[in-house]
Every structure is written in C-alpha cells, then in structure tokens.
Structure 1
Amino acid sequence: MKATTSPVLSLENLKKSYGDVEVLHDISLSMLPGDFLVLLGPSGCGKSTLLNCIAGLEEITSGSLRIGEADMTDVPPRDRDIAMVFQSYALYPTMTVAENITFGMKVRGISKAEQAEALARVAAVLQIEPLLARKPSELSGGQRQRVAMGRALVRDPKLFLFDEPLSNLDAKLRVEMRAEIRRLHETVNASVVYVTHDQIEAMTLATRICVMNEGYVQQFGTPDEIYFTPANTFVARFMGNPPMNIAAATCRREGAGSVLSFGDQEIRVAAALPEGAVEFGFRPEDAEVSQGAGSFSAPFTVERIERTGGDTFAEAKLGETTVTIRLPARARVAAGDALSVSLPAHALHFFDAATGRRIEAGA
C-alpha cells in the first residue's frame, strides 16, 4: 500500500476557554504518520489541556481538529481512533496483566482468537511475556507502565496519546523507560503525541517539539531547531541544563560589525545588529576557554565554581548578569581566576529586548 504523506493530526486556530478565561490561544500545528510530537512546557502552560482536546476529553471552544482525513472537532473520544496512556497507569487491580491488556478488545466484541494474537504480538514487543499471569500489585512501576502501553498498543490506533507517563517513576527507571518508549516507537512506527515538562525526555524522544507557555505555542520544530535556534528568550532559557546565558546589552554599529556594551564591559561581534537595546545569549557548553580571538572574545573573572563530577561550571559576571561557563571536569580553575572565553559565530544568539524574539543577524 502506498504510504500517505498527509498529516495524521492537524490543529488549526484551536482555542479553549473556561468561561471568560482563554487558556489555549490559536494553536495551529500538524504531524505526519510516524512522528513523535512532544508537547513541552512548564506546569500550567496548557500542554495537558491541549492533549485532552486532541483526545476529546475537553471540548474546544473554536478552531478545528483533524485526525487523519476526518474532522474530529465534535466527535466523541471513543470514535477518534486514539489510544491514551495515562500518568497513573489506570490498571484494573483485580485483573491479570493479560486481562488488562485485552479488556478493551473484549468489550468491543473482538474474538478470543484475535485477542490472543494481539496479546502475543504486544507482549513480545514490550518483552512482558513472563508477566501475563500477574496482577498489577505484583509489578514494579516500570512493568505497570509497560502494561499500560500494551493496553494501548493492542488497539493499533491512528494516534497514541501519552500524558506524562514517566513522572511517577524514579530517575533510573525514567531513563530505562525513555529507552523503552523510543524502541517501541521505532519498532511499530507509531504516531505519538507525548506530554512532558522534562526537556531531556523531549530531546531524546521527539521528532517534533511544540514548546508552550501560558497557552501559546512558543516554537514548533525539530529538537535541533528548538535547541540551536530558539525562537525567543523563553525557549532559550527553558531548553538546556544549565540554560542559555542571556544578558541585556546596548548595541551600536561599528563598521561591518557591532559592539555590545554591558555596563563597563564591551564585546565586539562580527554580526550586523540593530542599534539599541538587545539581549545577547550563548550556551554554557559553547564557551571555550582560550587565548585566541574568535567571533566573540572576552575576559571573565570567575566568581564561583561548581563541580558535578562529569563537568565543572564556572560562574562569572557579564554586566549585571551572572553567566555560566562549562569547563572540562578536571579543569584547574578557582574563584578569582581570569578566563579568556571565545565563541564561534554560530554559538552567538541575539534577541529583541522588547519582545524577546530572535534576531537573525546580518553578516
């Protein structure tokens, strides 16, 4: 059968209000079959509300929502051809693993032979064959999450919806389950919408990320686009640990380049920037301690050192802003030391001081 290139999910000018309060504002995005779309943002940004709108658990106030070729704007959840994996797993405690996985098929009147075939297929994919006779109380958190995913997988729906499925797991198990979900996506080529506030989950799982804040889409793109070319200062600060350094500056043009003033510190950059107030950013890992002059070169005095084992982080001042510079783990540096920091041109980021939007600097 010829593969389709039409979107498996399309949202157009979707809005959601509770009374007079609008919580989702003009959301427009789409994803292709096989995409892993992550809705990412801080608590309260609207990502779970958006997922519930896609699922049909929340009515949208205006706009349209399509799954495949069909308009699902006013279609009830049971008819949307979706499967949802919840944060709480929502397993039936008195049923075995096998019964939990096939329960929905049984309710829909699917034959026992088809149930057994689907169960065997899903159990093999998730590697839970030895668990099929157990009850949920006999399972670990990670095993329960596999069962919850298995219950969704037997549906073979157009769209899988995951609502922060790993948030109840400890750190080690989250890493293991991230790998499991990634393997599952690659194995069955599922189309997934996945809600999380964890940027590492987003970067490791997603083919597309939708960064949200206060009900607005801040940026929609690939993980590389989100991380390396953030659309605004919110995305720049939200993505990365430590986040991007962003310092207020005053810009003046000088020849083909620009001079950024941070109080009594000045930095010359090759980029042609608009004059006036700007915000200058760079990621801690892009800073190189060097005596050479690159597209950016400036002296810093170390104020504080933090060693994490795998890295050493030096804090210094750029104007009134404390910036973080990532150094090798064994770097011999202490508070009071002077560092000469250089950055390549691609590592420099500039934002409009009034709007926070990215400035694409001319050469």
Structure 2
Amino acid sequence: MSATETMKAAVLVAPGKFEVRHVPIPAIGRDDVLVRVMQVGICGTDIHMFHGRYAAEALPIIPGHEFCGTVEKLGEGVSNLKVGTRVVADINIGCGTCYWCRRNEVLNCAEVTQIGIGRDGAFAEFVAVPARLVIPAPSDIAPETLALTEPVGCVVRAAKKAQVSLGDSVVVLGAGPIGNLHVQMMRLAGAAPIVVFDLSKARCEAALAAGADVAVSDPAKLKDAVLRATDGIGADLVIESVGLVKLYETAFDLIRKGGHVAFFGIAGPQDSLAVPILQTVLQENSLKGSVAAMGEDMRQALKLLVNGRFDVSPFTGAIYPLADIQQAFDSLPNRPSDLKTQIRMS
C-alpha cells in the first residue's frame, strides 16, 4: 500500500457540514496497525462535535470512535496480531508511562489524544491505531454488535467507578442510547430497583424493555416515583447521562443520605453546578465522575457483548452507508426511536 493511495472518508469540515472526500490512507508507525473499518456508531460526542459544541478546535477532522474492523496492515514492530483479524479498539492514546497511564486513567495524561475526537477517526475506510490498543474480536459476531463495544465499555467503567452493590437502588436520568446501556449495566450489576427518567415516552418504554423497573416521563412525578420505589429513602445512586445542569441539580434531590451522584453526561465547558456543600458533608454524599472506556473496560465490554449479556436489538436498526452520513446526522432529531445510528463502510 503506497503513501499515495487514497480512501473515502467523511470529513467534518465545519459545524453541521460533512464532506465525503478521497484523502490519503493514514500512515502507520512501527508499533501501529492499520484497520479496515467495517462499522461505526454515532456517539453523543460525535453529535456534540457536529453541532460545534465539543472539540471545535479539532476541525476539520474525520470523527468516529465506536468502530470495529479488520487488521489491514501491521507496523514492522507488531507481532501479536495478524492481518485479517477482526478487532475493536481502545480510543484513548496516552504516553503509556506517566502516573495516570499506569493507573488506567489515561484521559488525565498530559499527552492524551482520542481517536475520532483529537485525531482522525473511523468515519473512513481505514483508521490507524496503536497496536497496544487493538483488541481481537470473534469473527462470528455481527459488526453492528462489535461496534457497540466502546459505548458498553463506558457504562462498564461508570459502574465500576460508582461501586454498585447488589440491591442498590439506581436512578438513570436520560433514556437515550447511553442511558439504555446504563440500565442494562445496572441490571447486570444487581441493582434494584432501577428507575429511569426521560421526557420521551418511547424511550421510557425502551428502558422498561431493557430492564428498568420504573420509568417516568413527567418531571413533576419523578421525585415521588423515586421515593415510592425506595421506601421513602431516596436512591443509592443517581446517574446523569444527558449532560444538563438542571438534571445534575435534580440528581442531588433524588439521592438518599449517604448516596452518590454519578457524573457522566458531558455538559458545556462553561456549565457549572452549585453543589449543596452542607448537605453533601453532613449526609456523606459523594460525586463520582466517569466518561470513557479505557484499558480493561473495553475487554470486559467485549466479553459481555460476545456472551449476549446486553440486548443490542434496539441499537442495530438504523444503518447508513458512508455516502449518506450527512443525512444520517441531519435526520437524528426526527428519529428519536432509533437508539443508535451506525455507519457501514463495507
């Protein structure tokens, strides 16, 4: 494969505007792998980037980080992978040696970048990935399932950070794609009961089908529903999965004394929250942040998906070819029942 060869890629050239272009196939270094992309999911982060609300300084860029594919080419220093192997990948690239990288907190590394966010990603025929971040996947699992590994890894990490115990009561604020996955993860972790809130009745129904015990679409009824489900105590854990200050404020009103709020939804860089300090101290409440799958989170997520622990059927119904990526993004607001939209490369 020569350096002059090109590939088709969707370049986000400005907020709201993709251009499908022929661009050079990315070069790989000694310790890298070139992956031929099969399927890519549209993440909430991609949507924020599309609207200019996140990582705008990186434009123009090829987004896309929820992907699977096959190994196309190996760097000369890579010996643990084979061409043709189906793979997924950890997207978080740190220095690998600092304090944060050693603790699997790569996003805190001073040199961190992310595939599809800080550097070109997978809305393309090929993507370059450090070999140490590539994870072999079974060849008999559908690409649309494997492309869910990264978002499932995110909720795996959130569950570990929140230290969910058997029988913990959990409220998930937001029943979109990641909220639905949080519900499924909480069920696997043994949480009970699980209460979901979303303004969309359709998404509430989907959350109930995914394992939620109670779903609420009326904000005025949410607190009463949580208190009824928890014998008047309040929730052990509230997960904010949308990124709205108002919902984060709501979370503090729903936890029990000694309960926890999981900060997951990405808000704007200027958004801030007035934390009730006295309440937090006296009640021994806590805040737990989590954002992306790193390291073993991805391998655990892949195991869960391969062994059928997640119901992926609500996430695999909306698939667009690369040529129609602009339409896929533009139509998202009109397709609330599609929990996940994916782009198919081949």
Fold shared, TM-score > 0.5 on shorter chain: no
- Greater helix content: 2
More strand by share: 1
Normalization by structure 2: what TM-score?
A: 0.29
- RCO higher in structure (CA 8 A, sep ≥6): 2
The TM-score, its normalising length taken from structure 1, stands at 0.28
